[in-house]
Amino acid sequence: MSYKIGLSDLERDGGTSLTRQLVERFAAAIDSGALAPGEKLPTTRALAAEAGINHLTAARVYRRLAELGYVTASVGRGTFVRSAPPAAAAEEGDEWQSYVLPERPMSYLESVVADAFRLPREPGMLSLSTGWPSPRTYPTPELARIAAEVFEEEGGEAISYLTAEGLFGLREQLARWGGDCGFATDPDEIIVTSGARQAIDLCARAVLEPGDVVAVESPTFVGFLSSLRATGARLIGLPVDDQGLDTDALERLLARHEVKLLVLQSACQNPTGTDLSPQRRRRVAELAQERNFFVLEDRVYAALRYEGEGVPPLRALAPSHVIYVNSLSKTVGGGLRVGWLAARGPVRDRLAMLKLETDFHTTTLAQHIAARFLAAGGHERQLRRSIGFYRERRDALLEALERHLAGEYRARVPRGGHHVWVRLERPLDERALYREAARRGVTFTPGGIVTVERHAQTHFRLSFPLLDPEELDEAVRRLARAIREVRRQDRHAATMPLS
């Protein structure tokens, strides 16, 4: 290092501070190229020893160089000369980016979600990890005809910019549907979003500030947990039983905390497949109105019902307090990215503003297609066509569990949706199971990523829509073998003598 910047002749009694002298020498070496972009500087300890200065002065030198834009520091990795001019970048590939980007290691949750999008496409892999509808059920001929019609009849309007709230014709269709079942009464209440996922994210950002308390069903949909955690809010999990969200637990929570937002799915909950009972539905609405908190009500699976009566939306009982979220993703196709929310009052205006700031509006073409599809009764037809398909797969998965894991698990029969929530009678290391299962060609959703507490070592979610009955059987067989292998390794580790 010293040959590059010369540390031996520092003036120790002159008018210029040691910090300044060192900063100037490092800066000159970087400007001249003697210290190359991406080059690692000595640790502050090594610099202190080499330059004969104390450690704090060395740290001050690097801090000042960072302020001046010469270097970048990365916790745990060290201090590096800042990013490269183009020629050097080309030589060194993309490595420089990791010095410039803020440090953000991928979390367990993020890596499992990324796998869920990637692994189903890998040859030989059987995916029990996503609630995507099967492409075999998509109404593609009908949508192709509608898409052609949209271009013919709308011309350029098919791809023009819209207002943030979305296409009025689609909002009208959705408000009509909302009027029939109770989630909305007016197109003004509807904001079209890029899937329900975006509606959830906008809602979290609109309502929550760091430190706010948010109550959320646990287990739940992983996307809720990501969006809610990103706001800096404090998440508190509430149990879900066969009547849906446990409202006694909610009341106990409300006695101790000022809750800003409650997040729930009132029908065919992901992952438990349960409905909120009529009594509890009334109680949640009363509590929201008495205590003035918002409720985010997600209904993406509500129409995919295999058994039991439909459950009306909670928003029908408390329209000012409930922000309702839904999409066509689970019933028609997730790639359409057509979702919506229904809200009123200042929160609706704030949501529209955030939508505009985020992506202006949802794809115009998809909104035209969705509006015509709904107006022509396509959604009801699609449900009639696909419910039997999914029920058959749900039953095949439940049978496969009995065949391969009898006595080792418990699972409720989901009334609707795409998932079965499984509890193992004896705990095991879910990360080890996840890895072993992937090695054997099957993926699933570990309980720890869909629970607030993140220590679910006994639960996992199995999703059935993408596999045929025989594939479901094979997937559960592989999973059962993976469970046995992880248990065997645990026993082996427990009996190994400590060295």
Interaction between residue 378 and ligand PLP (CB under 6 A): no
Q: Minimum distance from CB of 426 to ligand PLP (Å)?
A: 28
* Residue sitting closest to ligand PLP (CB): 195
Instruction: Output 127 or 265, the one with its CB closest to ligand PLP.
Output: 265
**Whether 223 contacts 216, CB under 8 Å:** no
Could you tell me which residues come within 8 angstroms of residue 424 by beta carbon, excluding any fewer than 6 positions away?
408, 409, 458, 459, 460, 483
Give how far Cα 189 sits from Cα of 6, 320, 345, Å: 69, 10, 9
397 near ligand PLP (CB under 6 A)? no
Are 213 and 251 contacting, i.e. CB atoms less than 8 angstroms apart? no
Pick the binder of ligand PLP from 226, 231, 247, 270 (CB under 6 A).
Answer: 270
Shortest distance (Å) from residue 125 CB to ligand PLP: 19
Cβ proximity of 283 and 368 under 8 Å:
no
Given 3-state DSSP classes, what are the helix, strand and coil percentages for the chain, each rounded to the nearest 5?
50, 15, 35
**Distance between CA atoms of 418 and 221, rounded to whole angstroms?**
12
196 binding ligand PLP? (CB under 6 A): yes
Q: Which residue's CB is nearer to ligand PLP, number 81 or number 263?
A: 263
Asked if 313 is part of the footprint of ligand PLP (rule: CB under 6 A), the reply reads no
Helix (H) or strand (E) holding 168: helix 168-181
Q: How many CA atoms lie within 13 A of 329 on its CB side?
A: 25
Which of 208-238 are b and which e, b meaning 16 or more Cβ less than 10 Å from the residue's Cβ?
Answer: beeebbbbbbbbbbbbbbbbbbebebbbbbb
Between residues 348 and 418, which has the closer beta carbon with respect to ligand PLP? 418
β-pair type (126-127, 442-443)? parallel
- Respond yes or no on whether the N-terminal peptide bond of residue 219 is cis (omega within 30° of 0): yes
Task: Return the range that interacts with ligand PLP (CB under 6 A); candidates 168-176, 195-203, 211-219, 429-437.
Answer: 195-203
Q: Judge residue 481's burial from the number of C-beta atoms within 10 Å of its C-beta, 0-12 exposed, 13-18 middle, 19 or more buried.
A: middle
Q: Of the two residues 79 and 327, which places its CB atom closer to ligand PLP in the complex?
A: 327
Kind and range of the H or E run holding 432: helix 430-439
In 283-385, which ranges are E strands? 294-298, 322-327, 338-342
State the residue for tokens 């107006």.
375
Q: How far apart are CA 135 and CA 267, in angstroms?
A: 24
152 to 171: interface string for ligand PLP, x by CB under 6 A = --------------------
Tell me: does residue 334 bind ligand PLP (CB under 6 A): yes
Cβ closest to ligand PLP, residue 265 vs residue 451: 265
Q: Does 298 bind ligand PLP (CB under 6 A)?
A: yes
Query: Which C-beta is closer to ligand PLP: that of 266 or that of 329?
Result: 329
| 97 vs 43: CA distance, rounded Å | 21
Choices 5-13, 150-158, 190-198, 278-286 (CB under 6 A): range interacting with ligand PLP: 190-198
**Does residue 329 bind ligand PLP (CB under 6 A)?**
yes
Q: Find where tokens 């580790």 sit.
A: 493
Residue 131 interacting with ligand PLP (CB under 6 A): yes
Which one of 138-146, 194-202, 434-442, 476-484 is the stretch in contact with ligand PLP (CB under 6 A)? 194-202
Among positions 339, 447, 448, 465, the unique one binding ligand PLP when judged by CB under 6 A: 339
Distance CA 388, CA 305 (A): 10
- The amino acid present at 176, given as its one-letter code, is R
Yes or no: say if 418 and 304 are a contact pair by the CB < 8 Å rule: yes
Is the CB of 301 or the CB of 409 nearer to ligand PLP? 301
415 lies in the site for ligand PLP, by CB under 6 A:
no
The least distance separating ligand PLP from the CB of residue 198, rounded to whole angstroms, comes to: 7
d(Cα 194, Cα 175) in Å, to the nearest integer? 18
Q: Give the pair of three-digit tokens for residue 437.
A: 């299962």
446 binds ligand PLP (CB under 6 A): no
Give the shortest CB-423-to-ligand PLP separation in angstroms.
Answer: 20
Residue 333 as a binder of ligand PLP (CB under 6 A): the answer is no
> Is position 218 an interface residue for ligand PLP (rule: CB under 6 A)?
no
- Given 146, 254, 300, 365, the residue binding ligand PLP (CB under 6 A): 300
Tell me which residue of 296, 286, 280 sits closest to 245, measured CA to CA. Answer: 280
Other Cβ atoms within 10 Å of 447 Cβ, number: 24
Bridge partners (DSSP) listed for residue 216: 237, 263
- Site for ligand PLP contains 448 (CB under 6 A): no
| Cβ-based nearer residue to ligand PLP, 259 or 336 | 336
Tell me: does residue 25 bind ligand PLP (CB under 6 A).
no
The amino acid occupying position 337 is R
- Least separation in angstroms between CB 337 and ligand PLP: 7
- To ligand PLP, the closest distance from the beta carbon of 370 in angstroms equals 12
Binding of residue 461 to ligand PLP (CB under 6 A): no
221 scored as a contact of ligand PLP (CB under 6 A): yes
Least distance from ligand PLP to the Cβ atom of residue 334, Å:
5
Our CB check for ligand PLP shows the closer of 21 and 445 to be 445
Separation CA 234–CA 211 (nearest Å) = 6
Q: Which of 139, 166, 187, 195 binds ligand PLP (CB under 6 A)?
A: 195
For ligand PLP, the binding residues (CB under 6 A) are 131, 195-197, 221, 223, 265, 270, 298, 300, 327, 329, 334, 339
